[in-house]
Amino acid sequence: MSRTISVIENILDANDQIAASNRARLDAAGVYALNFMASPGAGKTSLIEKTVAALKSKFRIAVVEGDLATSLDAERVEAAGVQAVQINTGGGCHLDAVMLQQALDHLDLEAIDLLIVENVGNLVCPSNFKLGTHKSVLVASVPEGDDKPYKYPSMYRGVDAMVLNKTDLLPYINFRLDYFQRGVEALNPGCVLFPISCYTEEGLPEWFDWVSSQMASVLA
């Protein structure tokens, strides 16, 4: 058992070193990076599309798309008018720092203000692997259920901001918002939470304002 733990620690330590290198590279170029994590179908790509549409006139944006296979999400993002780099993990359940390092080689960082990284849809592994981004955002959704903070504490504990998507479905699904919020607060006190709907666009202006405020602090 101790040998297994040692191997895992070595892998994570090596990943963290490359993540630190990625961060230094982004900082040197003046690029602010966000890591979007979620389960499959929570609405990461939809939120990215909305964010790009709202902010691309203010900031130069690029996106790194992580998926097991296909370039479908990258194509959606490119259709929104920004550059996208696709990473296919070939079955891997998360992005890691090496994958982002390779993606950065395909981007002109001097021409970017905001980099959005869409991680692989998974509520377990992505939280263990740092990428070098400045903030991590977890996108949850009403259809997933209100118990996810309790079932996946490591994911909810390690993020800087929470987005609860598909709130337009609240009248039709037994989702206890207060129960969900208590779980988030217990794991991640003070974590900012944005209840939104990419369908009705309710709550999106507050999310856009938060991203803009993060960018303002970097570009000031």
pLDDT at 91: 72
From first CA to last CA, the distance across the chain in angstroms is 49
Tell me the one-letter amino acid at 180.
F
- Name beta bridge partners: 83: 62
Q: Which fold has domain 2-219?
A: Rossmann fold (3.40.50)
Q: Name the nearest CA neighbour of 201 among 43, 24, 20, 68.
A: 43
pLDDT at 107: 95
pLDDT at 3: 52
Across the chain, which has 220 residues, the per-10-residue mean pLDDT values are: 53 89 96 95 95 95 87 85 87 88 95 95 88 96 97 94 98 97 96 97 98 81
The pTM (predicted TM-score) of the whole model is 0.91
pLDDT at 9: 63
Rounded Cα–Cα distance for residues 6 and 12 (Å): 10
pLDDT at 71: 76
pLDDT at 7: 47
Q: Name the nearest CA neighbour of 94 among 62, 61, 136, 134.
A: 136
Strands across the sheet with 161-165, in order?
83-88, 61-67, 114-118, 32-38, 135-141, 161-165, 192-195
pLDDT at 128: 86
Share of the chain above pLDDT 70, in %: 94
pLDDT digits (tens, 9 = 90+) for 78-130: 888 889 898 888 777 889 999 999 999 999 999 999 999 999 889 988 888 99
pLDDT at 93: 84
Q: Domains of the chain: which residue ranges?
A: 2-219
Sign of CA dihedral 43, 45, 46, 52: positive
* Structure-token pair, residue 91: 């079955």
